[in-house]
Homo-oligomer: A and B are copies of this chain.
Amino acid sequence: MSALEKISSNKVFEGELAKYKFKSAALGGLDAQFNLFLPKNPTGAKVPVLVYLSGLTCTEDNGAQKGGFFGIAATQNIAILLPDTSPRGAGVPGEDDDWDFGTGAGFYVDATKPEYSKHYNMKTHITVELPQVIEAAGLPIDFKRQSIFGHSMGGHGALTLYLSSKTKQYRSASAFAPIANPTKCPWGEKAFKGYLAGGIAEAVDNYDATELISKRTEPVHILIDYGTADNFYKQGQLLPENFLKAARDVGYDEFQVRVRSQEGYDHSYYFISSFAQDHIHCTFDFDYL
């Protein structure tokens, strides 16, 4: 893990969006990039951080360019950390063949199949390595006040990293159109069979938000939005209704798990930007710890 190199900077809403690069140990020594929005911070005091995980085919830029997050974050005085969605250039045969597996599709797991386990460790990259490298750089982020949200594959990432954290790393999770029950949909099945030595069975206890919520007993704070005109929802890739049922079955009420069906919205960043205000609000206005 090397020190951070700042490779670009844009002033936005009085804060700074910076893109950083470093050699990532979690990703097997490859260069990794991420974007970090820091609100204007005259005192230099540490600010809370919201992690945004993007979806299939995306990089660290999609949410930054199209999400409409920074004006809201500036008002709330919180940072937004936007990682990439996979290692880049791992060189695993076939990793660039499909848009829904391999490059751009890391699924926020730590791979256990030998051919992927050196590089495809996005879970460790996001939960352990990025906080370490950002703290080591002295950036004013308070990782004790951290929440996480995401879109599609990134919504899956947000929910599963939140629900599987034994250290309560994140205060809340929210998601736009998440892959909410990936062991029961084609995208998830393909990813887990590809990355995990134990295949789907290995994913059930670790990487499926619906399975994880059904075994949870402690308080949670989760918001999910999905659109009724979302073709991936219609195709059964997202299955938010399964997540909602599992949450209600174990007793979570709508104050702990809120799943909203948004009439007429699709899977695009136009949908995300329309509800970003609620997601960037919700993650800090309720502190159950």
Binding site for B on A (CB under 8 A): 10-14, 17, 65-66, 68, 70-71, 227, 229, 264-266, 268-271, 273-274
- A13 partner residues in chain B, CB cutoff 8 A: 273-274
* Cβ-closest chain B residue relative to A13: B274
Whether A270 and B17, one on each chain, are in contact in the complex, defined by CB atoms closer than 8 angstroms, is yes
Tell whether, in the assembled complex, residue A12 and residue B274 are in contact, meaning their CB atoms are under 8 Å apart.
yes
Least CB distance, A109 to chain B, in whole angstroms: 29
Partner of A68 from B14, B17, B273 at Cβ < 8 Å: B273
Residue of B10, B17, B71, B270 near A11 (CB, 8 A) is B270
A274 in contact with B68 (CB, 8 Å): no
Give the copy number: 2
Q: Which listed residue (B10, B70, B273) contacts A268, Cβ 8 A?
A: B10
8 additional contacts, CB 8 Å, given A11-B264, A71-B273?
A10-B268, A10-B271, A11-B229, A11-B266, A11-B271, A68-B273, A70-B270, A71-B274
Per CB-CB distance, the 4 closest pairs between chain A and chain B, nearest first, are: A12-B270, A10-B270, A11-B264, A13-B274
Interfacial chain B residues near A265, Cβ < 8 Å: 11
A227 to B12, CA, bound (A): 11
Query: What chain B residues lie within 8 Å of A270 (beta carbons)?
Result: 10-12, 17, 70
Residues from chain B with a CB closer than 8 A to the CB of A266 are: 10-11
Separation in Å of the A194 CB from the closest CB of chain B?
A: 31
A65 proximity list for chain B (CB < 8 A): 65-66, 269
Question: Is the Cβ of B66 less than 8 Å from the Cβ of A274?
Answer: no
Shortest Cβ gap from A91 to chain B (Å): 32
| Chain B residues in 8 Å Cβ range of A10 | 266, 268, 270-271
CA distance A11 to B268 in the complex (A): 9
What residue in chain B is nearest A16 (Cβ atoms)? B264
Nearest B-chain residue to A265, judged by Cβ: B11
A274 and B227 form a contact (CB under 8 A): no
Q: Enumerate chain B residues within 8 angstroms of A269, measured Cβ to Cβ.
A: 65
Alpha-carbon distance between A229 and B12 when the two chains are bound, in angstroms:
12
